[in-house]
Amino acid sequence: MKKINLIDLFYNQLKNNTIQSITTLTNKSVFLTLIRSKNTNIILEKSSLDKSNFDINVVDELKLKNYLTELRTDSNRLILTGKGLFFAEKSKGIIDENKIVNYIINDWKFKLTVKKKFKLSDKEKIILLSMVSVRSFSTESCIYLKEYRMCDKWLKIFNSSYDYLSNNGMINGKNPFDQQYRGNEHIVSNTMERQQPLKNKTNYIFRLPGSRKYYLDIMEGNTVSYNKLKLLLSLIIQPIQITAEFIDDFSKYCLKNSQKYGIELFTQPLFNNHNYDNVIKECLIKIL
């Protein structure tokens, strides 16, 4: 077996076991996923292969390049090294030196700027759940309240979010959106204009770029930032204890809202496709 084919064999074994264990790869990379995982050693051991199945000369050459190594617990079994994993993914165009550095910089930047964990009001939880559930993740897929008809559409979502949060014990008060107008102004536009504090409470994930637009800044390129989404979800679900049943129910609620409202709300519904259907569930599992 050729050197490249042997590395691909080990890589595919490792990738399959990583997906089986963790579900979703960080930026589609096994390397980036495993450097953050608590189960890396378990996944590596599970992905080892018996070296007697391969040409010893090819194995020795790859070991000399530090692409393969023996398991500490069993010298007859081989695994990819970090260098071997990087080589495999770089050759496939998945990662390179710049992508790794940018990932680390963005991850550290988020961690270092996270402020104390705030407690949200019922109104703020309703707003965030509504935006998360319909995937308001960019200026193209944002709350845009230029017209009253859009205020009416968002009011339906806010009321749906209130019912869900209230029925599941995440909020206890009266529905703050039970009336359509506050004075002469629509209740939705009146409320959203006053949400500057929510920007701070969410570590600047909630954005107010102006022109009556509001969105959640959780995208890193084409990928959802799990750190940011986890922060939002943890704020919304307080003080609920997460269970497998809750994760399933919450995820289904969000998926239903996205399918029901996403197309009619956004001129460019960038995130209303199957690529984003499981991200909420996966983040809740990580919180659990």
Dihedrals φ, ψ of 170, to 5°?
-90, -20
Euclidean distance between CA atoms 288 and 279, whole angstroms:
14
- Paired sense of beta strands 219-220 and 185-186, if any: unpaired
Dihedrals φ, ψ of 74, to 5°?
-155, 100
Task: Give the DSSP letter of residue 119.
Answer: P
> Is residue 89 within 8 Å of 30, Cβ to Cβ?
yes
Q: What is the pLDDT of residue 200?
A: 87
For residues 129, 240, 252, 23, the Cα torsion angle rounded to the nearest 10 degrees is 100
Work out the number of other CB atoms within 10 angstroms of the CB of residue 10: 23
Work out the number of other CB atoms within 10 angstroms of the CB of residue 88: 23
Work out the number of other CB atoms within 10 angstroms of the CB of residue 239: 7
Q: What is the pLDDT of residue 1?
A: 59
**CA neighbor of 142 nearest in space, from 199, 210, 202, 203:** 210
Q: Point out which residues pair with 226 in neighbouring strands.
A: none
**CA neighbor of 60 nearest in space, from 12, 14, 6, 11:** 6
Q: Which residues make Cβ contacts (< 8 Å) with residue 120, sequence separation at least 6?
A: 128, 198, 201, 235, 236, 238
- Paired sense of beta strands 49-50 and 219-220, if any: unpaired
Work out the number of other CB atoms within 10 angstroms of the CB of residue 266: 20
Q: What is the pLDDT of residue 3?
A: 62
Q: Which residues make Cβ contacts (< 8 Å) with residue 35, sequence separation at least 6?
A: none
Q: What is the pLDDT of residue 87?
A: 94
Q: pLDDT tens for residues 84-137?
A: 999 999 999 999 998 888 877 766 655 555 555 678 999 999 999 999 999 999
Q: What is the pLDDT of residue 262?
A: 81
Q: What is the pLDDT of residue 161?
A: 96
Q: What is the CA radius of gyration of the chain?
A: 23
Q: Which residues make Cβ contacts (< 8 Å) with residue 124, sequence separation at least 6?
A: 195, 198, 201
Tokens of 167: 């029925």
Tokens of 260: 């029901």
Dihedrals φ, ψ of 247, to 5°?
-60, -45
Q: What is the pLDDT of residue 167?
A: 95
Task: Give the DSSP letter of residue 116.
Answer: P
Tokens of 283: 């983040």
pLDDT, one tens digit for every residue, the chain (288 residues): 566 689 999 999 999 998 888 767 888 899 988 887 778 888 989 999 999 999 999 999 999 999 999 988 888 999 999 999 999 999 999 999 988 888 777 666 555 555 556 789 999 999 999 999 999 998 888 999 988 889 999 999 999 999 999 999 999 999 999 999 988 899 999 999 999 999 989 988 999 998 999 999 998 777 888 889 999 999 999 888 889 899 999 999 999 999 888 878 887 667 877 778 788 888 888 776
Euclidean distance between CA atoms 150 and 170, whole angstroms:
26
